[in-house]
Amino acid sequence: MSILIINNQPKQSTRVRAQRYEYFCNYKNCYIFAMKKNKLLLCSNTNNQLLRTKQAMDELPERIRIKDIARLADVSVGTVDRVIHGRSGVSEKSKKRVEEILEQLNYQPNMYASALASNKKYLFVSLLPQHVEGEYWTAVEKGITDAVAAFSDFNISIKMCYYDAYDYTSFTSAGNAIIAEHPDGVIVSPTIPQITRNFTDHLNEFSIPYIFIDSNIPDLHPLAFYGQNSERSGYFAAKMLMLMSDKADEIVIFRQIKEGIIGSNQQENRDKGFRIYMKEHFPSCRITELNLHPKYPIEDEQLLDAYFAEHPEVTCGITFNSKVHIIGEYLEKRGIKDFNLVGYDLLKRNVTCLKNGSVSMLIAQQPEIQGYNSIKALCDQLIFKKEINCINYMPIDLLTVETVDFYLDFQK
């Protein structure tokens, strides 16, 4: 195969240019690129009869259209459209010719325009833990609904589904209901791996892409994950807590647990990272645990009273869930000061405790962005045919009373 590049002179007549093209058409299997002032005028094979016509001398527009490609390939617009979108019904010869021209022109289809012109509707479903207004998952939902509004021109809709984080059968029932909906994509906060796998196996069976949010199970191969690196976050939290506590001899981990179920993979991974740091750097520090009930907060005061009565020397603690305000508000009520407490997430009650001094530091993870980017990833994959980055870690943002207002203002 030969390649010839013809640079047309500004004052060269159409007749002279046509003679030059006619001459080169005698070459077999030769590609000709006609240029004028560094602008591509023509890209075609010598066997293409377009070279012998005056139409071939017309300049291509600034924005290459499907009909321009069809003209150069000497095929119909429908053929080009089928090749671009990978549909059947095109001969190998025509397909090859179109693909060669697409490659030479570095043509990128306008998927936005195609999607806008399409009448296809997309149903996305989210499966999140049950919660009340103002809790952590409210911010995730806001990100999801903001993204649905932003991409509403492309006929997407969202259905919110929920499960009890402390009841595995609840996750299974909600998952089965979602499968029955036959959605185009799913956003899910996973429960334990074995239960989550049953759900994702069904999604894979129907070729439904799914996004993991908040916590990841890499072995289940989601389309994408949005959330913190939980283990590294716990490791970092331990480091910050020990810097504040002046190398304390004992630390308490406050947990919300029901019948042995913590309710979040992320909390377990943070706990793991925390203990790794402590074992590496403070192996003699004693770590105790206080289990609070997730659904009967009225009992929490009694449990906290009993713990502090038994451990009056403990001056620092941490919780790996978003409800550090339970401990912070208790400390304020009991007048306990000089207790170093670290928690997660910028719930309004958490921020109030931070400003009141009952919480020392909060670690944030931008839940709204997690929700927004999950919808965006589904749109990029299904509508715009883009490659999706699989692992998307959120920053580990450490906030104190001095910095939290600036952070919140920036997030608005």
Task: Tell me: pLDDT of 10 over 50.
Answer: no
Task: Tell me: pLDDT of 227 over 80.
Answer: yes
One fold for 2-108 and 122-228+368-395: no
Give the model's pLDDT for residue 108: 65
CB 254 within 8 A of CB 290: yes
The least confident of 39-48, 131-140, 379-388 is 39-48
Give the model's pLDDT for residue 336: 94
319-344: string of b/e by CB count within 10 Å (b at 16+)? bbbbbbbbbbbbbbeeeeeebbbbbb
Give CA 168 to chain center in angstroms: 25
Q: Write down the architecture of domain 2-108 according to CATH.
A: Orthogonal Bundle (1.10)
Instruction: Give Cβ neighbours of residue 284 (< 8 Å, ≥ 6 apart).
Output: 249
User: The pTM is what?
Assistant: 0.74
Instruction: Give Cβ neighbours of residue 198 (< 8 Å, ≥ 6 apart).
Output: 172, 175
Fold designation for 230-364:
Rossmann fold (3.40.50)
CB 278 within 8 A of CB 287: yes
Mean pLDDT to the nearest integer, 146-154: 93
pLDDT band for position 12 (cuts 50, 70, 90): very low
Q: What is the largest CA-CA distance in the chain?
A: 101
Give the model's pLDDT for residue 116: 61
Task: Tell me: pLDDT of 40 over 90.
Answer: no
Give the model's pLDDT for residue 51: 44
Can you tell me which residue has the tokens 């989210």? 126
Give the model's pLDDT for residue 34: 54
Task: Tell me: pLDDT of 37 over 50.
Answer: no
Give the model's pLDDT for residue 171: 97
pLDDT tens readout for residues 300-330:
999 999 999 999 999 999 999 999 999 999 9
Task: Tell me: pLDDT of 62 over 90.
Answer: no
The least confident of 4-18, 217-231, 242-256, 398-412 is 4-18
CB 350 within 8 A of CB 343: yes
Mean pLDDT to the nearest integer, 354-364: 97
Give the model's pLDDT for residue 119: 76
User: Most confidently modeled of 26-35, 48-57, 282-291?
Assistant: 282-291
CB 226 within 8 A of CB 188: no
Strand order in the sheet with 39-45: 2-7, 30-36, 39-45
pLDDT tens readout for residues 181-207:
999 999 999 999 999 999 999 999 999
The least confident of 61-65, 143-147, 363-367 is 61-65
Task: Tell me: pLDDT of 13 over 80.
Answer: no
Task: Tell me: pLDDT of 14 over 70.
Answer: no
Task: Tell me: pLDDT of 26 over 80.
Answer: no
pLDDT tens readout for residues 326-353:
999 999 999 999 999 999 999 999 999 9
pLDDT band for position 145 (cuts 50, 70, 90): very high
Quote the Cα angle for 88-386-175, to 5°: 90
Give the model's pLDDT for residue 240: 96
Q: What is the mean pLDDT of the chain?
A: 85
Task: Tell me: pLDDT of 55 over 50.
Answer: no
pLDDT band for position 9 (cuts 50, 70, 90): very low
CB 187 within 8 A of CB 213: yes
Domain ranges of the chain: 2-108, 122-228+368-395, 230-364
Termini Cα distance of the chain: 59
Percentage of the chain surpassing pLDDT 90?
A: 64
* Other residues' Cβ atoms within 10 Å of the Cβ of residue 241: 22
The highest-level CATH class for domain 122-228+368-395 is: alpha beta
Supply 348's token pair. 């309004």
